[in-house]
């Protein structure tokens, strides 16, 4: 019994990290249609901001989460204003531009703080272990799971029950018609990109105590995020939640019988096979045509 619970908790832990990283990417692509290859670097920058606030200003990780969200949202807002806003409806150009932004972000970090590994200290109150039905898990991993679910719930409420969310859904279905009804689509796109970047920064800050912080750390996360978004469906928040759970549990199960590398390769093969027959992903958002 404790092995089953332990395996389930491992899968949920992986799923929570996947959802944290993929949520911002799903929002940006679902609304603006931009394939943001710099998303992993937003995650990386969030981790570095957490490290800088902790080492330079003595701020604990929990106290720094709100400033990190605001700083990364500002970064995303600037990227949208200066680059992305001029490239909408030009798919290849946005892919190339966001890839270039990611490369420049990595090099900028190397120049400013160096390429050495950095470490963010875990909150002392969450550094202990917790026993659930005979299985032992890290209190910090459970904290990440609750935060991931809370952020998803917050995003869902904004998307479904606020005036801003109503405008988001209108633009997602048809930007031209939404504009004809007086919706400022440029402003909505800008805020969406900022929110997605802020969420990516939070993801980087929260995973930083579990992984060493380096300029290349975002590359791995962006691959995972794209797997989640493609499997769940590109315009479905519930799809992102479900696919995070599926991939997390599947990765944990496969890694238990092999290792992390083989598990990730098998998961990738499974996704490729699935989208061969269902290219829209498992969940598809309904849209009027």
pLDDT score recorded for residue 286 = 59
**SS3 readout for 193-255:** HHHHHHHHHHHHHHHCCCCCECCCHHHHHHHHHHHHHHHHCCCCHHHHHHHHHHHHHHHHHHH
Backbone angles phi, psi at 131, to 5 degrees: -105, 125
pLDDT score recorded for residue 47 = 94
How many Cβ atoms from other residues are within 10 Å of residue 191's Cβ?
Answer: 19
pLDDT tier for residue 105 given thresholds of 50, 70 and 90: very high
Over range 99-104, report the average pLDDT.
92
Element housing 179 (H / E): helix 175-180
pLDDT, tens digit (0-9, with 9 covering 90-100), for 120-154: 888 888 888 777 777 777 888 888 889 989 999 99
pLDDT score recorded for residue 20 = 83
Over range 56-75, report the average pLDDT.
93
pLDDT at 54 exceeding the cut of 90: yes
Element housing 269 (H / E): helix 260-277
pLDDT, tens digit (0-9, with 9 covering 90-100), for 145-189: 899 899 999 999 988 888 888 888 888 888 888 888 888 888 998
Q: What is the DSSP letter of 118?
A: B
pLDDT tier for residue 96 given thresholds of 50, 70 and 90: very high
Tokens of 81: 């204003």
Tokens 């209108």 found at: 170
Q: Give percent of the chain above pLDDT 70.
A: 97
More confident residue, 13 or 155: 155
Tokens 């992903």 found at: 281
pLDDT at 48 exceeding the cut of 90: yes
pLDDT score recorded for residue 123 = 86
pLDDT, tens digit (0-9, with 9 covering 90-100), for 224-277: 888 888 888 776 788 888 888 888 888 878 877 777 788 878 888 888 888 888
127 CB-side CA count, 13 A = 8
Kindly give the interhelix angle for 39-57 and 61-82, rounded to the nearest 10 degrees: 140
Average pLDDT, the chain: 86
**Opening angle at CA 138, ends 136 and 143, nearest 5:** 130
Backbone angles phi, psi at 135, to 5 degrees: -100, 140
* pTM, two decimal places: 0.88
pLDDT at 90 exceeding the cut of 90: no
Question: Which residue from 240, 212, 242 is spatially nearest to 226, judged by alpha carbons?
Answer: 240
Q: Give the C-alpha separation, 213 to 209, whole Å.
A: 9
* CB proximity list for 87: less than 8 A, separation 6 or greater: 34, 93, 94, 97
pLDDT score recorded for residue 180 = 85
Beta strand 135-138 pairing with 129-132: antiparallel
pLDDT score recorded for residue 287 = 56
pLDDT, tens digit (0-9, with 9 covering 90-100), for 26-45: 888 878 888 888 988 999 99
pLDDT at 79 exceeding the cut of 90: yes
pLDDT score recorded for residue 288 = 54
């Amino acid at each position: 019994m404790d092995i089953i619970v332990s395996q389930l908790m491992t899968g949920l832990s992986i799923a929570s990290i996947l959802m944290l990283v993929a949520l911002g990417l799903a929002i940006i692509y679902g609304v603006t249609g931009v394939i943001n290859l710099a998303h992993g670097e937003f995650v990386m920058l969030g981790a570095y901001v957490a490290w800088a606030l902790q080492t330079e200003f003595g701020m604990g990780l929990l106290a720094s989460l709100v400033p990190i969200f605001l700083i990364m949202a500002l970064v995303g807002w600037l990227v949208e204003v200066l680059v992305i806003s001029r490239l909408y409806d030009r798919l290849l150009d946005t892919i190339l531009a966001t890839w270039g932004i990611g490369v420049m972000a990595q090099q900028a970090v190397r120049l400013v703080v160096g390429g050495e590994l950095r470490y963010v200290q875990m909150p002392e109150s969450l550094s202990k272990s917790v026993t659930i039905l005979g299985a032992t898990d890290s209190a910090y991993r459970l904290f990440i799971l609750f935060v991931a679910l809370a952020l998803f719930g917050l995003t869902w409420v904004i998307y479904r029950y606020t005036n801003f969310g109503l405008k988001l859904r209108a633009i997602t279905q048809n930007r031209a018609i939404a504009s004809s009804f007086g919706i400022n689509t440029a402003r909505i796109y800008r805020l969406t990109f900022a929110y997605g970047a802020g969420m990516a920064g939070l993801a980087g800050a929260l995973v930083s105590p579990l992984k060493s912080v380096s300029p290349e750390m975002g590359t791995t996360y962006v691959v995972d995020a794209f797997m989640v978004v493609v499997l769940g469906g590109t315009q479905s928040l519930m799809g992102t939640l479900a696919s995070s759970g599926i991939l997390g549990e599947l990765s944990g199960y496969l890694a238990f019988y092999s290792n992390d590398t083989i598990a990730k390769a098998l998961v990738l093969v499974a996704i490729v096979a699935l989208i061969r027959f269902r290219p829209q992903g498992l969940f598809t958002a309904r849209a009027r045509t």
